[in-house]
Amino acid sequence: MPHSIPIVVATAIMLAIAPACAQSPMPGGMPPPAGMSLAESTAMRFPQPVRAGDLAHRLILQPVESQIILGRVRSVVRNAQGDVSVVMNFGGFYGYGGRLIAVPIDAMVLLGDEMEVVAYTPKQLAAFATFTPDATTPVADDTILKVGLAKPSH
């Protein structure tokens, strides 16, 4: 079938370009060294004051060169022990959809106007329980939190 030639060529081109959409194996914002607590690892990252309300809706990225979106900040909460977590939607597409999980803020870093989860892989985040507001209190927008930094992941 001579008419199939364009389809074959087009498919070949698509296959050649497809790896461009694949994720780079390049390591990004380094995970905390083994045995180090999240708080200790944040202390190494020059934690900076940031207004809790300013974190709302920020994109949360995976620390890889292709800057894969894990979700968005939905709210910031504090548990009975006083630990602050970022509630994010996880497992959706491009920051939309998915379910809510609460990630300790010390597992995350600021990257300009975005955030990254450095202490957990997406696989580990997938094992997080779905967030329920019980036993947490929302952190007021004007609260100043201290969050660690990272350089861009490449």
Element (H, E) at 48: strand 48-51
Contact yes or no for 143/56 (Cβ under 8 A):
no
Which DSSP symbol is given to 123? Answer: H
Looking only at the bridges linking them, the beta strands covering 59-61 and 114-117 are parallel
Residue 108 binds to other proteins (criterion: CB under 8 A)? no
Candidates 112, 129, 135, 142; binder of other proteins (CB under 8 A) is 112
Using rule CB under 8 A, residue 45 touches other proteins: yes
Q: What are phi and psi of 83, to 5 degrees?
A: -75, 135
Using the rule CB under 8 A, is 125 a contact of other proteins?
no
Distance CA 70, CA 153 (A): 15
Rule CB under 8 A: is residue 35 a binding residue for other proteins? Answer: no
d(C-alpha 73, C-alpha 89), whole Å: 7
Q: Which of 44, 56, 126, 140 binds other proteins (CB under 8 A)?
A: 44
Task: By CB under 8 A, name the one of 84, 88, 101, 150 that touches other proteins.
Answer: 150
Which residues between 4 and 23 bind other proteins (CB under 8 A)?
5-6, 9-10, 13, 17, 19-23
Segment lying near other proteins (by CB under 8 A), choices 61-69, 98-106, 121-129, 132-140: 61-69
Cβ distance to other proteins smaller for residue 51 or 57 = 51
Which residue carries 């997938």 as its tokens?
126
